[in-house]
Amino acid sequence: MSDIILETRNLTKHYGGVHALQDATFTLRKGEHVAIMGDNGAGKSTFVRQITGVEQPTRGEIYFDGKPVHFAGPLDAREAGIEAVFQTLALADDLDVSDNLFLGREKTKFDWLGPFRLLDYKAMRQDTIAALEKTAVKIPNIRNTIQNMSGGQRQCVAIARTATFHSKLTIMDEPTAALGVQETAQVENIIRTLKEQGEPLILISHNMRQVMDLVDRIVVFRRGRICANLRKEDTDGQDVVAYITGAKTQPEYDVEDVA
């Protein structure tokens, strides 16, 4: 019915007296790729933590896939279909690729055995290969432990999680911040693949070239508020920087003087 996958209304988060996020009203349509930009401490990560269930908002509503949602923890958000790739990768070094993809959500047999139920390795490996193919992630061997992988490959494994569980929304928090040129290109290619497949994405990035290359729309955060919502066609790098630094504010978001 509606083509809006995620909507937040007046999403607010206070840490004690610190107003980390103020009245963030944001929409994301199906298949859309949106970048969130802003200076350090502008509220980008706080915003992401609210919609991925890592933290609970002080005020405001979140609608996901048309329904209001209240995530008690990251697992709730994940089960609803929001998959986040965080800066600090949640991967276990000593486990292999498919173990990591399915960590906490293993496919099992003989479920009546409770915590001792058996792992269905075969099904998990098949799904892993399918997910890697879907995201065009290149990994030498899915039975290798993460430990011996490069930063790019690790990032790819983390991203491949999103494809494994048919998530409805992918969020990436600076996925290429720690990567080399080649690895960055690899991750960007995966993002393009997601775009082709119509998977919506929220990308947090400081890399202007990357953002201009990959997304449809840019939302700028400043001092805990959204200060601009720009279609890529209507803007350029300098313009975005002007919003980030506070030189410009879109009129419809110009509430800071009132507050």
What are the residues binding another protein (CB under 8 A)? 73-75, 78, 86, 88-95, 99, 103-106, 108, 113, 115-119, 129, 132-133, 136-145, 147-150
What's the residue count for the chain?
259
Closer residue to another protein (CB): 17 or 104: 104
Closer residue to another protein (CB): 3 or 116: 116
Q: How far apart are CA 118 and CA 16, in angstroms?
A: 45
Angle, helices 151-164 vs 181-196, to 10°: value is 10
Provide, rounded to whole angstroms, the least separation between the CB of residue 48 and another protein. Answer: 14
Closer residue to another protein (CB): 2 or 148: 148
Q: How far apart are CA 204 and CA 185, in angstroms?
A: 16
Written in H, E and C, the secondary structure of 95-112 is: CEHHHHHCCCCCCEECHH
Provide, rounded to whole angstroms, the least separation between the CB of residue 94 and another protein. Answer: 4
Closer residue to another protein (CB): 116 or 258: 116
Provide, rounded to whole angstroms, the least separation between the CB of residue 119 and another protein. Answer: 6
How many of the other CB atoms lie within 10 Å of CB of 239?
Answer: 16
Three-point CA angle 209, 212, 213, nearest 5°: 80
* β strands within 40-145, DSSP E: 59-64, 67-68, 82-85, 108-109, 118-119
Query: Residue 47 corresponds to which tokens in the numbers above?
Result: 């915003």
Provide, rounded to whole angstroms, the least separation between the CB of residue 120 and another protein. Answer: 10
Provide, rounded to whole angstroms, the least separation between the CB of residue 14 and another protein. Answer: 24
Closer residue to another protein (CB): 103 or 247: 103
Closer residue to another protein (CB): 145 or 229: 145
Closer residue to another protein (CB): 78 or 225: 78
Provide, rounded to whole angstroms, the least separation between the CB of residue 148 and another protein. Answer: 4
List beta partners, residue 19.
14
Residue 28: which of 201, 189, 198 has the closest Cα?
201
* Burial degree of 22 (CB within 10 A; 0-12, 13-18, 19+): buried
Provide, rounded to whole angstroms, the least separation between the CB of residue 168 and another protein. Answer: 18
